[in-house]
Structure 1
């Protein structure tokens, strides 16, 4: 059922396995994949993307697999390199450590081959996890939490975002446009698929204990996933937190200026100072969402109306003008305070709500002017 690299026939499915010293499990994985292809009645190819120093590539060739050696490093790069070599219109992927039973491939393949999904995934969390197959922390904290992040930020709608058993069409792969080289590649596929509105379907699978030495570094690799997800969702990282902080700050300042409706609580100078700080910090954080969107090409661009307006309509001239107006208004009142201070013989000037409002406006105005120039410089350099 396996076609060699020089075969004139075109395989109906290409299975890609990345390997790094998997001599203990590679043979069983290939044999199970052969059984799956036999059950499906399709011609296939197995591409082993190998960076091993043990007998993994020799065993793979003995079993009829095509072995390629990536010219770069990383889990994601090994997949990307092999996907470019794949000849079939349907591509499957999975680890070669016996954790995934490739005899379960047919049900995923049929979802894709029948047009019911652009990408079909095996869900370990909805299926069965054999004792010892997955650390408790991964099963009940790590994987569910990372999946929740992906579903919230990217609308993926999956139950097990980091399952390594996946089947997808070549068209879907090309539409994803993945670029990462490390372990975050697994997240990027789902993020890109969600952003491209590709149809993802899941079926439960059994997850087995691995053969050979574990190469995953839980916290380091987990952080790489989280970091990549956050950097590609500036709306959630910057815009939303910034607007929440800024709104909270303005509410505090309004509470000092006008009082708290229906309450006997009296807010004083310290609350006013805190409100000013929250407003300034919130404004700065929210502006970073616009900077990140303009300077890069995030997978999930901010979709709140404020950031969209800033990115799409705010020019250097408009931004600088707005900053001058806001800062200028504050500067006029600050100038009045300086004159009053001088006329009093430079005696202590009492604190007023208006004075702190004025200085807050000055800070935000100056930030707006320089931010407008910075955004213009970044946009012109792209």
Structure 2
């Protein structure tokens, strides 16, 4: 059985045509099917759907993503097809997606609008040439999705694939979450070109707000890209700048001085803090895409409270000892000769970094216990 699922919010202008095309698709496929409408309308949408033989369910909570999840719980098919009820998707194109899943060639099949045809006026140029390509690029880079149109709403997936996913986003980011979960779990995604049509009824999307929700969701669930990689790069650059300034290395006619030392210290401290956030997000947040860089993985697997506190205390002690030597030299001069400024910065950086390590170790220990 194939379950065809549509979320609806006041779609009385397009629901009849969509259900009719769904029935045509089932007739072409010659399989048993059911049409499930997950409805939150205040117009005649549910009455029209029921009159055409659809099963209408009413989600007990709001949200585009929740409407799908609620309907999936009521779906009885071995495979699930989804799409919007605004006539933008031609459900008579579903068979070519269904066959990919039924034949075992894909766990989830998607219709690609960007590789297919977009009718005049069907998609705003900002979405077609900027928004959708950029969001697709994010998903491909962060999650290895390998798709051309990540936010196409026409999809077919096996019930088994859905049960492997742990999607729980109630809003529009549910569309991204499905692909993120599939990519993170090495499920096979295949695409076929489709035609995207003008919609019937009033649009409910808010371009910038909904786009930002997708980007935010992708970033917070990929702490390796959001925290670990930037943090490690900042720490490496900062350590190099500090070392070059301290040892008075020159590149051509350009040397590194106190200002470079301050910049290097800033990068080291911020880089360590950002990298720590990547570790914390991995341990506490259980993100969809965990960091895969060796450094973060090593920290997650090997850093214990005792090791972290010990390392931090040693680093703090070295910095404090160096600072103490410089203070004693200053005192011996009768407080007339200021200590070596670069040494001050190095000592202070070591002390701050040591304290950060100590408290980070305690926080990580608390998070692990929770």
User: What range is the shorter-chain TM-score in?
Assistant: over 0.9
Cα deviation, 1:116-172, whole Å, max 9, x if unaligned, reads: 110000000000000111010000000000000000000000000000000000000
Q: C-alpha separation between the residues in 2 aligned to 1:261 and 1:38?
A: 76
Partner of 1:46: 35
Given the alignment, which residue of 205, 228, 234 partners 1:216? 205
Task: Give the 3-state SS of the residue equivalent to 2:41 in structure 1.
Answer: coil
Given the alignment, which residue of 314, 321, 329 partners 1:332? 321
Gaps of 5+ in 1: 1-11
Cα deviation, 1:20-76, whole Å, max 9, x if unaligned, reads: 000000000000111111111111100000000000000001111000000111000
Given the alignment, which residue of 322, 325, 334 partners 2:311? 322
TM-score norm. by structure 2 comes to 0.98
Q: CA RMSD in A?
A: 1.1
Task: Give 4+ residue runs of structure 1 displaced > 6 Å after superposition.
Answer: none
Partner of 1:104: 93
Partner of 2:22: 33
Q: C-alpha separation between the residues in 2 aligned to 1:129 and 1:348?
A: 75
In 1, are the aligned partners of 2:326 and 2:340 still within 8 Å (CA)? no
Partner of 2:255: 266
Task: Give the 3-state SS of the residue equivalent to 2:198 in structure 1.
Answer: coil
Q: C-alpha separation between the residues in 1 aligned to 2:208 and 2:225?
A: 22
Partner of 1:303: 292
In 1, are the aligned partners of 2:329 and 2:339 still within 8 Å (CA)? no
**Which aligned pairs between 1:28-107 and structure 2 lie closer than 5 A?**
28-107=17-96
Partner of 1:363: 352
User: CA separation of 1:259/1:336 partners in 2, compared to 1, >3 Å: closer, same or farther?
Assistant: closer
Partner of 1:241: 230
Q: C-alpha separation between the residues in 1 aligned to 2:176 and 2:346?
A: 45
Q: Does 1:231 align with 2:220?
A: yes
Q: C-alpha separation between the residues in 1 aligned to 2:127 and 2:68?
A: 23
Q: Which moved more, 1:188-197 or 1:270-279?
A: 270-279
In 1, are the aligned partners of 2:18 and 2:85 still within 8 Å (CA)? yes
TM-score norm. by structure 1 comes to 0.95
Structure 1 position 337, deviation (Å): 1.8
**Which aligned pairs between 1:112-191 and structure 2 lie closer than 5 A?**
112-191=101-180
Structure 1 position 261, deviation (Å): 6.1
Cα deviation, 1:202-226, whole Å, max 9, x if unaligned, reads: 0000000000000001111111100
Structure 1 position 272, deviation (Å): 0.8
Task: Give the 3-state SS of the residue equivalent to 2:113 in structure 1.
Answer: strand
Q: C-alpha separation between the residues in 1 aligned to 2:208 and 2:342?
A: 48
Q: Which moved more, 1:268-277 or 1:93-102?
A: 268-277
Task: Give the 3-state SS of the residue equivalent to 1:347 in structure 2.
Answer: coil
Task: Give the 3-state SS of the residue equivalent to 2:80 in structure 1.
Answer: strand
In 1, are the aligned partners of 2:250 and 2:256 still within 8 Å (CA)? no
Q: C-alpha separation between the residues in 1 aligned to 2:229 and 2:138?
A: 15
Q: C-alpha separation between the residues in 1 aligned to 2:157 and 2:251?
A: 59
Structure 1 position 349, deviation (Å): 1.0
Q: C-alpha separation between the residues in 2 aligned to 1:329 and 1:238?
A: 28
Given the alignment, which residue of 182, 192, 195 partners 1:193? 182
Structure 1 position 376, deviation (Å): 0.5
User: CA separation of 1:250/1:149 partners in 2, compared to 1, >3 Å: closer, same or farther?
Assistant: same
Partner of 1:206: 195
Q: Which moved more, 1:331-340 or 1:347-356?
A: 347-356
Q: C-alpha separation between the residues in 2 aligned to 1:209 and 1:348?
A: 78
| Equivalences, count | 370
Cα deviation, 1:69-119, whole Å, max 9, x if unaligned, reads: 001110000000000100010100000000000000000011101111100
